[in-house]
């Protein structure tokens, strides 16, 4: 398995405003602003670098009893488990059945 490391270029927030000079991207910005992933792209919670380092230092992937993948890590001495369902819930991705249509922005 690859050695997982923290990278400062990950976990950046998307900028979905329309500044001057971005006219060529307005249609893309309209689409992203109207999709169910907007919150996941724009949420900007306070995340401490030390916690990210702890996560990557202790993270391991495994399969749960129901056959789904999970990531387990120890952060501040507490075991945390991430699943697809927990990520969807916290990022407000209410599309567990998939997407059947795209919005017309």
C-alpha span between 81 and 72 (Å, rounded): 4
pLDDT recorded at residue 67: 94
Length of the chain: 105
Report phi then psi at 64, rounded to 5.
Answer: -80, 175
Report phi then psi at 83, rounded to 5.
Answer: -130, 165
Closest CA to 27 of 13, 16, 42, 43: 16
pLDDT recorded at residue 47: 81
Report phi then psi at 101, rounded to 5.
Answer: -140, 155
16 pLDDT tier (thresholds 50, 70, 90): confident
Task: Please tell me whether the overall predicted TM-score, pTM, comes out greater than 0.75 for this model.
Answer: no
Both tokens of 75, joined, read 């952060």
């Amino acid at each position: 398995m690859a050695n997982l490391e923290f990278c400062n270029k990950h976990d950046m927030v998307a900028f979905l405003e329309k500044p001057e000079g971005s006219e060529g991207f307005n249609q893309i910005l309209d689409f992203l602003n109207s999709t169910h992933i907007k919150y996941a792209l724009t949420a900007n919670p306070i995340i401490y670098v030390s916690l990210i380092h702890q996560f990557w230092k202790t993270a391991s992937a495994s399969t749960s009893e129901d056959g789904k993948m999970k990531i387990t890590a120890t952060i501040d001495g507490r075991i945390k488990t991430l699943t697809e369902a927990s990520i969807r819930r916290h990022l407000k991705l209410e599309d567990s059945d998939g997407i059947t249509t795209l919005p017309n922005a």
